[in-house]
Structures are given as C-alpha cells and as structure tokens.
C-alpha cells in the first residue's frame, strides 16, 4: 500500500479532531497545501510537546523525507509513530504495526505488528481492518506450503502438521494470532482423521471462533473425535445432547457420554455432569 495513502488517511482522521493549537492548525494547513517544509517546522515542536496528532504527521513526513531536509528515515519515523501509538492514536498504531510486520525501521516482528494492527482494527480504523484481512488471506493462501514445510522439518505426517500449525495460530505462538487460519488448519487436519483436530474444529464451530457458528456441524465433528476415543470430545457430545445443541436433546444419552468421557480422563466431563445435576 502506498505511503501517500496512509498519510492521506491519517490526515483525514486528524482533521476531524484538531485541538485549538495554532501551530498545529498552521502545520496541517501547510501540509494540505503541500508546503511540507513549513508543515514540518510548525508541527515538530508540537510533536515534541507530546501531541499525538502532530507526532503522527511528523512521523509520516520523516518516513517520506517530506519537508525535513533529509532523506527518508524509517527508524526515526517508527520512533515518532511509537510515541503517538502509546497515546492510542489510531493511524500511528496502524503504521507502527505495519512497520513491525515489514521490518521497516524496527526489527521485523509479525506477532507484535499484527497485535498493533488488530488493536487499531478493533477500534474501527479502516486501514488496519483492511490490512488484518489481507494478512489472514495471504496466510490462508500459503497455508498448505507452510504445513508441508513444517511436516518436512519435523518429520511428521500432514495431519499432525496441520494440527500443530493450527495450535500456533490459535495461540499466537511465534506467529500472529489468526483465528480464521487456525480454524482452517484444524479443519484440514480433521478431514485427515486427526482426532484432536476434529475436537478443536468442533469447538470453533460451536463457539463461532474464526468461522461461522454451526452447532450441527460441531456435533458431527465432536462425534467423530469421540469415536476415536477423544475424551473431551465425548464430554462435548454429552453437553450437546443435554442442551439439544446441534442435535436432539437426550438426557440419558448425555449422561452415558459424559460418564464415559470422565472415566477416560476428560476435564470437561465434570462441568457437564454438574449441569446434568441441576
């Protein structure tokens, strides 16, 4: 995405919430007029005084070398974006996230970068929302390649590799926490017969985590995992039968399923038994 687009987007945010500060007003007026030297001169002292909006614009100009009399400096720009982001400035948070994702002026850290982008996206920043979606889409596109590499590296079968990759994305372990990617990785492992993945995919269908909620499909996957001896899946089958969630309610079958799950060592089984006792 072009830097100009980011700068323009940030400017539109800034213009809606300008404080009554003459230097800031004059700096932004100069920026809009394309007089970046004046804009930088007016905005820099305001940024140094701690104004997040000025810090964000100064960062953008330093990033592009606009009006600064110096070459573009991503490291210095990242420092200014960080100051504004610490004050919850949305555009600065988005830009700092992008810098960390790409390793621009800072050590590359996709986990931290995506966390920052997600923070801004959660507060409705359009650029951050667009970028988080693209990260998820690109990761999904390369999921098979990633899993194949993991399988080769660890000398494991594909089902196990999909499951492990799913766990990593579900927890944000050394990768961004991408629930959509986690759900799809679990789904692919589940289709290959991996019982733990069948259980995890069922959980995500049951909760609507990373994909649309679907209790009927969740019950089907819990049942498949239960048939392979997955104890917690048996507890979830019992819960579904107790609540009539995704299947017809049957208290007797629920009790049987949960009792068997508890005997097999399920930590979830006792919770369901407590519900049965109410």
**CA-atom Rg of the chain in angstroms:** 25
The number of domains in the chain is: 2
Q: What percent of the chain has pLDDT over 70?
A: 91
pLDDT at site 46: 94
Mean per-residue pLDDT, 86-95: 97
How far from each other are the two terminal CA atoms of the chain, in whole angstroms? 56
Residue 117 has pLDDT above 80, yes or no: yes
Does 62 map to a domain?
Answer: yes
Helical packing angle, 90-102 and 126-141, nearest 10°: 30
67 in helix, strand or coil? coil
Q: Could you read off the pLDDT of 133-156 as tens digits, one per residue? A: 999 999 999 999 999 999 999 999
Residue 2 CA to residue 171 CA, distance in Å, equals 31
If you average pLDDT over every residue of the chain, what do you get?
90
Residue 59 CA to residue 37 CA, distance in Å, equals 14
Does 144 map to a domain?
Answer: no
pLDDT at site 32: 85
**Where in the sequence is the domain holding 17, given as residue range(s)?**
3-133
Does 152 map to a domain?
Answer: no
Does 202 map to a domain?
Answer: no
Greater model confidence, 54 or 174: 54
> Does one domain contain both 25 and 126?
yes
Classify each residue of 35-49 as buried b or exposed e, where b means 16 or more C-beta atoms within 10 Å of its C-beta. ebebbbbbbbebbee
pLDDT at site 22: 65
pLDDT at site 3: 37
Does 228 map to a domain?
Answer: yes
pLDDT at site 21: 60
Last residue of one domain, picked from the residues 115, 133, 151? 133
Selection from 134, 133, 138, 157 nearest residue 147 by Cα? 157
Residue 90 CA to residue 9 CA, distance in Å, equals 11
Mean per-residue pLDDT, 3-31: 57
Selection from 131, 195, 197, 193 nearest residue 169 by Cα? 197
Residue 274 has pLDDT above 90, yes or no: no
Q: What percent of the chain has pLDDT over 90?
A: 83
Does 190 map to a domain?
Answer: no
pLDDT at site 10: 43
Last residue of one domain, picked from the residues 133, 166, 198? 133
> Does one domain contain both 15 and 123?
yes
> Does one domain contain both 11 and 121?
yes
Residue 28: both structure tokens together: 């932004």
> Does one domain contain both 223 and 129?
no
pLDDT at site 88: 96
pLDDT at site 34: 85
Q: Which H helix or E strand runs over 270?
A: helix 269-276
Does 69 map to a domain?
Answer: yes
Neighbour count for residue 257 (Cβ, 10 Å)? 26
Last residue of one domain, picked from the residues 93, 114, 133? 133
pLDDT at site 14: 41
pTM metric for this prediction: 0.79
Residue 61 CA to residue 80 CA, distance in Å, equals 11
CATH number at residue 96: 1.25.40.10
Q: What is the 3-state secondary structure (H, E, C) of 136-194?
A: HHHHHHCHHHHHHHHHHHHCCCHHHHHHHHHHHHHHCCCCCCCHHHHHHHHHHHHHCCC
> Does one domain contain both 19 and 113?
yes
Q: Could you read off the pLDDT of 169-217 as tens digits, one per residue? A: 999 888 999 999 999 999 999 999 999 999 999 999 999 999 999 999 9
Does 239 map to a domain?
Answer: yes
Residue 121 has pLDDT above 60, yes or no: yes
pLDDT at site 156: 97
> Does one domain contain both 11 and 127?
yes
> Does one domain contain both 10 and 128?
yes
């Amino acid at each position: 995405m072009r830097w100009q687009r980011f700068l323009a987007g940030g400017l539109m945010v800034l213009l809606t919430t300008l404080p009554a500060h003459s230097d800031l007003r004059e700096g932004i007026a100069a920026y809009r007029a394309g007089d970046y030297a004046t804009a930088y001169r007016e905005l820099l002292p305001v940024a140094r005084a701690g104004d997040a909006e000025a810090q964000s614009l100064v960062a953008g100009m330093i990033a592009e070398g606009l009006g600064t009399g110096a070459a573009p400096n991503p490291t210095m720009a990242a420092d200014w974006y960080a100051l504004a982001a610490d004050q919850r400035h949305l555009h600065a948070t988005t830009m700092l996230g992008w810098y960390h994702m790409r390793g621009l002026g800072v050590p590359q850290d996709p986990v931290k970068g995506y966390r920052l982008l997600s923070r801004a996206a959660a507060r409705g920043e359009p650029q951050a929302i667009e970028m988080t979606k693209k990260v998820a889409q690109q990761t999904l596109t390369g999921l098979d390649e990633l899993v194949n590499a993991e399988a080769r590296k660890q000398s494991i079968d594909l089902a196990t590799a999909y499951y492990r990759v799913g766990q990593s994305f579900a927890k944000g372990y050394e990768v961004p926490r991408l629930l959509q990617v986690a759900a799809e990785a679990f789904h692919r492992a589940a289709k290959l017969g991996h019982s733990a993945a069948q259980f995890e995919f069922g959980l995500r269908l049951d909760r609507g985590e990373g994909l649309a909620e679907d209790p009927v499909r969740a019950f089907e996957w819990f049942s498949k995992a239960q048939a392979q001896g997955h104890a917690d899946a048996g507890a979830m089958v019992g819960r579904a039968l107790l609540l009539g969630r995704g299947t017809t309610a049957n208290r007797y079958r629920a009790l049987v399923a949960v009792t068997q799950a508890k005997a097999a060592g399920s930590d979830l089984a006792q919770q369901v038994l407590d519900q049965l006792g109410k």
